[in-house]
Structure 1
Amino acid sequence: MLSRYRPLFLALSVMILLLLAYTAYWAAAAWRLSKALAEASGKAAEKNVELTLDHPAVAGFPLRLTVNLSGLRAQWPSGTLVEAGPLTLSAWAWSPLDITLETVAPLRLDLAGSARHAPASGTATGLTGRAELGLDGKPRLVSATLTGVRAQTDAPLAAAEVVVSWTAPAQAPEGPTDPQGRIDLLVRDLDLPGAVPPPLKPRIDQLALSYEARGPLPAKPSVEGMTAWRDGGGTLEIPGARLLWSGMDLRANATLALDGAMQPAGKGTAELSGAETLIDMLVENGSLRPEQAEGAKAGMTMLGRRTDDGRSVLSVPILLKNSQLFLGPLHVATLPPIPWN
C-alpha cells in the first residue's frame, strides 16, 4: 500500500528540502546585509564622511530582501549634507542585484560653497530609485526620480519632477576616447524665477538632456586634469537635448571639446518648431513691428520642412567658438569663462 504513495512522499521530501535550502539562502543573504549595514558608518568614516543610518532592519521574507531605515544622514568634510526620512531599499530574493529605493519623506541636500559657487540647498518631497548591478558588484544602471523639487539658490527654482540616470558603457573603457557612461536628465514643469517676457510662460514644460564623456574625466576638475583629458582626445557627446516651452519644441545634438583656452567649443544641429512664439515675443518687446513679424513668419515657413510626425521645423547649425554661441548666423549668447581652479 505504501508503495503507491512513494512518488508523493518523494515529491514532498524534495519540496521540503528546497524550502529549507531557500530559507537558508535568504537567511544568509539577510545576515550579509545586516553586517554590511553595521559596517557602513565605519567604512564611510575612513573616507571622512559622517554617515548615520537610523534603526536599520532587514525584512521581506520570503519573496524579497528589504532594508528599512527610519532615517539617513551623511555629511562630507566640505560641509555638503544629505538627509532623508524613512526609506526602503528592496530586491527580489532571487535577483538581489536589481535594487529599488523609495521614500515619501522630505529629502534635503545642502551643497557647500566654494571659490566658484555660493552655497545652495534643495529639498524634494519624494524619491524613487533603481540600481542594477553586475556580477562584479559594479553598477550597470542607476536612476533616481525626485518629486516636488525645490532649489534655493541665487535664483530659486522649482520642478514637479526630476529624473536622472546613469548607464554604464556596453564595454569597459580602455582607450583614451572610449565612452565613460551616459547620463540622462529629464525635468518636468520647471518654474522659472523672475519675470518672463510674454508670450513666453514662466513654466518650462519639459527639459531633457543626454550626454556622454569620451575619455576618462578627472575626479576633481582642474587645469591639469582637464588639459590631459583634452589632449587625449576627450569630448562630450550630446546625442539629444530637448526643450518644450510655450508651444516651442527645440531638439538639438552636439559634440563639445575644450579649446586652447580651456573653454568649451563645438558644433551641432538644432531643430525648432513653434518658432512663431519667439517672433511674437520680439513684437511684444518692440524689437519687431507687426508687419516685420508677418514677413519673418512667412520666411520661416518657406525655409522649414515637414517631419514625419507632422511638425514644421527649422533646422539650423549650432556653433560654439571663443565662448560665443551662434544659431545659424545669429549670435545668441556669450558664455562666462570656466575657472577650472
Structure 2
Amino acid sequence: MLVKRKKLFASLLIFLSLAIISWFILFEYSVRWLEKGIEEFTSNLRHKGYIVSYSKVVIAGNPFLLTVTFQNPHMKDPKGRFDWQGQEMVIVIQPWQPFTFTSTFPGDQKLIVPQNTPIPLGVLKFEGAEGIFSLTSRGTLEEVNFTIDSISSFMGDQPQPVSLGDTSLNIKNLINPLNLSFLLTTHVVNLEKTLGLPPRDAPFTVDLEATLSGYQSKYAMPKSLAEWRDGGGVLEVGLLKFTWPPLMLEANGTLTLDRNMYPLGAFSSKVIGYQDALADIVKLGWVKKKNAAGISFILGLFSVQDEGGGKHLPVPITIQNKALSVGPAKLFKLRPLEGF
C-alpha cells in the first residue's frame, strides 16, 4: 500500500513538473509571438510614413491573460492629421478571444489635430479613456469602441471654458474605410457657467450617426480629401441630435466639400420643446415678458403638428458659401479643410 502511494505521489510530482514546464513554455511562446507582432505592426506603419515610438514595452501575465504596457507611446500620421502622445497604453489579450482585445490609457494623453478646421480644437487632452478593438480572422481591424470620461481642449496653455464628458465612439466597417459608419454620444460640461445660466437638471448632449459613402475611383484609397470629394465622397448624417431639456433639435442630411475645400451640405431639422424653452428664456430675462406672446405666436405659425399631436418647428440648415446658416440667418463663417 505504501509503495502504491509513493508511486502515486511520484507520478503527481512528475505531472505537476510537466504542467509547470508547459506553462512556462506556453507563456514564453506567447510573449515571443506578441513581440514579433508588435515589431511587424510598427514596422508596417513606419514603412507607410507614420512616426511610431515608445520608450519601453512590458509584457506580463500568464498564457490565459496577457497585458502589454507601452510606456510613452507616440504616433503621428504622415500628413500631420493627428499626433497622439500618451503616458501609457495598456492592452489586455485573452487567448479565447484572439480577435478582440481591450485597452486603457492611464496618465496624461493628448491628441494634437490640425487647426485649419471649421472649428479649431487646439490640443485635446483625455482622461479615463478605454477601447475595445475587434479584428477579422485575418487580423484586420474591423470595429473600434471608445469610451472617454473627459475631453478638454487647450489653446496654448489656456484651457477652453467647456469640455466634453461621458463620450462614447463606435466605428464600424474599418476594413472598408471609405464606407465606414460611426456613432458618437457626448455631453458638454460647464456650458451653463459659460453662458451665465443657473445649473440645470440635465446636461447638453450631442448624438451623431453618420456613414461615409459615394466614393468611386479606380484607385483603392484617395490620397487627399480633394480626391475623395472629386470621386463622389459624401458624409451621410442619419442623425444629428442636440438635447438640452426642454429643447431638442434633430437633423439629418449630407455633407461634402466644395471646390475650394469648404464644407458643403444641407440638412432638414426640427426643433421640439421650443415653447417651454421660450418660457425659460423669459425667466432668465433674455426676452421681455410682453414680447414673449408675439414671439410664441410667430413660432406657432411656422410650427408643424406631429403624428402624436405635439408640435415641432422645422428649420432648414445649410452649409454653403463659406458659412453655416439656419434658415435665412448666417450663424458663423467656416474655414476650408486645406492640407488634408
TM-score by length of 2: 0.72
Q: Determine which of 80, 84, 87 is the counterpart of 2:83.
A: 80
CA distance in 1: counterparts of 2:44 and 2:260, whole angstroms: 40
1:109 is matched with 110
CA distance in 2: counterparts of 1:48 and 1:268, whole angstroms: 36
* Residue 166, structure 1, aligned to residue 171, structure 2: yes
CA distance in 2: counterparts of 1:202 and 1:315, whole angstroms: 26
1:10 is matched with none
Contact kept, 8 Å, 2:152 with 2:159, in 1: the verdict is: no
Contact kept, 8 Å, 2:262 with 2:335, in 1: the verdict is: yes
CA distance in 1: counterparts of 2:229 and 2:55, whole angstroms: 41
User: Amino acid of the residue matched to residue 56 of structure 1?
Assistant: V
Contact kept, 8 Å, 1:305 with 1:313, in 2: the verdict is: yes
Change (3 A) 1:241 1:314: same
2:36 is matched with 35
Contact kept, 8 Å, 1:88 with 1:101, in 2: the verdict is: yes
Unaligned runs of 5+ in 1: 1-18, 174-178
2:228 is matched with 229
Contact kept, 8 Å, 2:262 with 2:334, in 1: the verdict is: no
* Superimposed CA distance per residue, residues 145-197 of structure 1 (whole angstroms, 9 cap, x where no aligned partner): 1113322127613222222221117x848xxxxx5201222212433497416
DSSP 3-state at the match of 1:152: strand
Q: Tell me how far 1:55 sits from its aligned partner.
A: 4.1
2:128 is matched with 126
Larger mean Cα displacement after TM superposition, 119-128 or 285-294: 285-294
1:95 is matched with 97
Unaligned runs of 5+ in 2: 1-18, 216-220
Contact kept, 8 Å, 2:246 with 2:277, in 1: the verdict is: no
Contact kept, 8 Å, 1:199 with 1:280, in 2: the verdict is: no
Change (3 A) 1:147 1:215: same
Change (3 A) 1:75 1:99: closer
Change (3 A) 1:26 1:44: same
Q: Tell me how far 1:30 sits from its aligned partner.
A: 4.2
DSSP 3-state at the match of 2:54: strand
DSSP 3-state at the match of 1:132: strand
User: Amino acid of the residue matched to residue 320 of structure 1?
Assistant: I
Q: Tell me how far 1:272 sits from its aligned partner.
A: 1.4
Change (3 A) 1:265 1:118: closer
* Residue 333, structure 1, aligned to residue 336, structure 2: no
Contact kept, 8 Å, 2:122 with 2:154, in 1: the verdict is: yes
CA distance in 1: counterparts of 2:256 and 2:145, whole angstroms: 26
Correspondence 1:307-322 to 2 at 5 A: 312-322=311-321
Q: Tell me how far 1:269 sits from its aligned partner.
A: 1.5
Correspondence 1:1-341 to 2 at 5 A: 28-37=29-38, 46=47, 47=49, 49-52=51-54, 54-62=56-64, 64=65, 66-69=66-69, 71-74=71-74, 76=76, 80-85=83-88, 87-103=89-105, 105-111=106-112, 120-153=122-155, 156=160, 157-168=162-173, 172=176, 180-192=179-191, 195-196=194-195, 198=197, 204-216=203-215, 218=222, 220-221=224-225, 226=226, 228-276=227-275, 279=278, 289-298=288-297, 300=299, 303-306=303-306, 312-327=311-326, 329-338=327-336, 340-341=338-339
Contact kept, 8 Å, 1:324 with 1:331, in 2: the verdict is: no
CA distance in 2: counterparts of 1:149 and 1:70, whole angstroms: 22
TM-score by length of 1: 0.71
* Superimposed CA distance per residue, residues 223-280 of structure 1 (whole angstroms, 9 cap, x where no aligned partner): xxx1x33332221111111111252111111112333544322222112112236545
Q: CA RMSD in A?
A: 4.0
Q: Tell me how far 1:74 sits from its aligned partner.
A: 0.9
User: Amino acid of the residue matched to residue 212 of structure 2?
Assistant: A
Q: Tell me how far 1:43 sits from its aligned partner.
A: 5.5
Name the count of aligned residue pairs: 306
DSSP 3-state at the match of 1:93: coil
DSSP 3-state at the match of 1:125: strand
DSSP 3-state at the match of 1:137: coil
Q: Tell me how far 1:139 sits from its aligned partner.
A: 1.5
Contact kept, 8 Å, 1:131 with 1:143, in 2: the verdict is: yes
CA distance in 2: counterparts of 1:231 and 1:107, whole angstroms: 39
User: Amino acid of the residue matched to residue 80 of structure 1?
Assistant: D
DSSP 3-state at the match of 1:56: strand
Contact kept, 8 Å, 2:192 with 2:199, in 1: the verdict is: no
CA distance in 2: counterparts of 1:313 and 1:26, whole angstroms: 62
Q: Tell me how far 1:54 sits from its aligned partner.
A: 2.8
CA distance in 2: counterparts of 1:305 and 1:118, whole angstroms: 38
CA distance in 1: counterparts of 2:254 and 2:127, whole angstroms: 35
